[in-house]
Amino acid sequence: MSIKQQLIDRHGQPAYGLFNDGVHDINYLDFDLRSTMDRRLGRWAKKLKFNQFQFIGLLSPQLIVGIAIVDLKIASNAFVYLYDPQTGEFDEFSFIQPLARGTHIDTRPNDGEARFEQGQKRFLMRATRVPGVRKVQVELPGLLSIDATIDESTAYQPLSICTRAGYQGWVFTQKSTALVCNGNVQWRARQINLHDIGALASVDWTAGFMRRETFWNWGSLSCRLSDGRRLGFNLAAGVNETGFTENAIWLDGKRIKVDMVDFRFDRYQQRHAWELQSSDGKIRLHFEPAGKRQEKMNAIIAASNFTQHFGRFFGEIRLDSETLTLNGEWGFTEDHYARW
């Protein structure tokens, strides 16, 4: 394994493309950031314009969990939601910190932490390269407790890419799905063992100088096939297609690249199914939403119109050696507009 040590080179320029073994440090303060009229911007401008977020998904037929920490510098946000597919029970908790107080996200995707604190409310995501685990903890006293460990040690092949974003920006993202996880969730007077329910995890680590106005569609799956193999995918359109895509399938940890993906859905009929098709023919799926987390914010300097659905995927994934059929496996889709 030959991990790239830093994203930004000695000339202040990012490396673009796909990094098979990942990048150790997203050293954004070394970037030669300039205005659209080529005026060099300083350290504080870099800090203010650099956005970061992490999203963790925990998926099983018995429980779906979404957890995020978002640092936009002018504000930060952490949220968690839980859905029981068998009973339909759903809870979500969301918190905002002006000026990102109590929030920090390291610049190392595989050897750093993200944390959000507001009073006794605490979110923590911590990765360690040795032994290769990612700890996830959420403490909301009297409401919820999550203590999970995601295994990133064996056959770990995340998708790491950096692409251009607008005239002077760039986005780095690292995605992985269908990772084995262990731990416990205490929710609604129940203690749920993640290993016992066969939960699998997905990880999204994203940072960069993003377009002033950004949108994306996204789909993610983590499940076990009937023969026991772990299957996952990350599919997206709208944000990282300037030369490279963030689309991939994982089968028992082996990464298989996917070409451009078309998302077809009706934004204003949110109970209707989505269609996802890739230009290389690997993805031929439709998605039936079961529920959603939705948030709208329209402020003077920032805005967000965010809808993340959880639901079931049906259809085919066509690989060179076999065709895999999905018949209602649980996953996520997302429709997101942001003005940073």
pLDDT of residue 297: 81
The confidence band for 301, taking pLDDT boundaries of 50, 70 and 90, is: confident
Contact status, residue 183 vs residue 150, Cβ threshold 8 Å: no
**pLDDT value at residue 298:** 85
208-219 pLDDT, tens per residue?
A: 999 989 899 999
Burial profile 84-120: b = 16 or more Cβ within 10 angstroms, e = fewer: bbeeeeeeeeebebeebebbebbbbbbebbbbbbbee
The whole-angstrom separation of Cα 246 and Cα 34 is 26
More confident residue, 154 or 193: 193
Mean pLDDT of the chain: 95
Question: Looking at residue 288, what is its pLDDT?
Answer: 98
What confidence score (pLDDT) does residue 25 get?
98
Is 171 in contact with 239 (CB distance < 8 Å)? yes
Give the 3-state secondary structure of residue 257. Answer: strand
Find, among 276, 336, 293, 328, the residue nearest to 85 by Cα.
Answer: 328
Tell me the pLDDT tens digit for each residue of 46-105.
999 999 999 999 999 999 999 999 999 999 999 999 999 999 999 999 999 999 999 999
**What average pLDDT does this structure show over 41-46?**
96
Q: What pTM was estimated for this model as a whole?
A: 0.96
Return the percentage of the chain with pLDDT > 70, whole number: 100
Summarize pLDDT for 144-186 with one digit per residue, the tens: 999 999 999 877 899 999 999 999 999 999 999 999 999 999 9
| Number of independent structural domains in the chain | 1
d(CA 38, CA 219) in angstroms, rounded, equals 36
- Cβ proximity of 107 and 27 under 8 Å: yes
Confidence of residue 133 (pLDDT cuts 50, 70, 90): very high
Amino acid (1-letter code) at residue 316: E
Domain that holds residue 317: 4-339
Res 1: pLDDT: 59
